[in-house]
Chains A and B, each alone.
Chain A
Amino acid sequence: MIFSRHPLEQMLILSAIVFCCGVYTILTRKNAVSILMGVELVLNAANLNFVAFSQYTRTGGVHGNVFTIFVILLAAAEAAVALAIIIGIYQNFGRVDVDEADGMKE
């Protein structure tokens, strides 16, 4: 019950941890779908922040919540297009390793 009087800070610390796990995933993974999963972690952490600020400060409105809804919608659109591209890469190259997709390099 350490931070029971600071629910805002509890949420922000949690979202910071999830955010850093997401960044680690994006930095180290080679599989393109794994990198996309890391991006989803980052977006979820940001959403937690938005909602925490909207619900736990005296803003007087739901702007944080509305932003969260938009972020969820845009994450859906982006995941759909990214996965379509990944499937296209698989059909053309046979592998979805981002280190090996360097056909446009010199």
Chain B
Amino acid sequence: MGAAEIVLNVVFYVLAASAIAGAVAVAASRNIVRSAFALLAVLFSVAGLYAVMKADFIAGAQVLIYVGGILVLIIFAVMLTHRITDVKLSNDSTPGPAAFCACLCLLFSLLVVVRYSTKWRRDSDTVTARAESFEVSFKQYQADGATGLAFGGGAYEDSVVVVATVSQGPDPLRILDQVQFVATSGANRVSRNFPVAGRDAPYRHVFEKLSEGEWRWTVRLLGRQKDGKDEVDREWEFPLANTGFTVTRGVTEPIALALAGPYLFAFEVVSVLLLAALVGAAFLARKEVKDL
């Protein structure tokens, strides 16, 4: 666990603690204004958690819309629906054992499902290519090394982790010396050589500082082949079709392409709905003009 992962974990736990503290304060505070400002803490913490998950655009949108819009509206509503003279507004609640037990049971069941009964699929798919007596199996992961990166999918940071195994059937004529991973994107090319460790040993490498764009993989095996009495250097190349990934800086561009692509209709419908909500809210909250 490198320093970056430790930092990320610490940040996650701090943000999680503040989100839970805020949520409990919203649920249990006896002053409604304090509830509203505890909601502020929750919203900012959730935005921080989105940033920890590398969904930076959503973190920005969350603060902009939720804090800058919805929370301001909520605080205005709190201030407009109470007498101004009491500063300590009471916030009655009817806490009973029923609601508390129901929520505890709900929480318990969710935790059991999440932690113990569901096998979450985080691992990557494997691509296998065969040639002569060699077989290359190949997986790719996101920068944290554990979340699978689907082939053709997007990496939201500029690094990718590759895990591959090379196995060789019984073949006295061919000897394997090195394995080379090559990633190409247009004119950019990064590669990494590994000396052969042993049969079926996995090779793992983190490719860093990749530029933006679409990348494709090629695996080359360098070895020697016995040709009569001599040994000739040979290369075997596996182009590994349909294995690739896209590097974007953050999640902004993929979201934009999705909103202008598959989700275009939904986007337009939500725009019309927002317009209707705007007009409706302005109408509902108007002050009646009383005839004098």
Contacts and interface: CB of A to CB of B under 8 A. Distances in A.
Is A in direct contact with B (CB under 8 Å) within the complex?
yes
Nearest to B104: A20
A56 B53 contact: yes
Given A28-B93, A68-B58, A81-B284, A4 B9 contact: yes
Interface in B246-292: 251, 254-255, 258-259, 263, 266, 270, 273-274, 277-278, 280-285, 287-288
Nearest to A16: B110
Given A9-B120, A31-B91, A22 B147 contact: no
Contacts of B91: 29, 31, 34
Interface string A25-64: 1011111011011101100100110011011111111110
A84 B146 CA distance: 47
A58 B77 contact: no
Interface size class of A (residues with CB under 8 A): 35 or more
A39 B207 CA distance: 43
Interface stretch (B15-23, B180-188, B190-198, B230-238): B15-23
Contact of B122 (A8, A87, A97): A8
Given A34-B91, A55-B54, A66-B255, A75 B23 contact: no
A60 B150 contact: yes
Given A44-B46, A51-B58, A87-B80, A33 B32 contact: yes
Contact of B35 (A24, A34, A58): A34
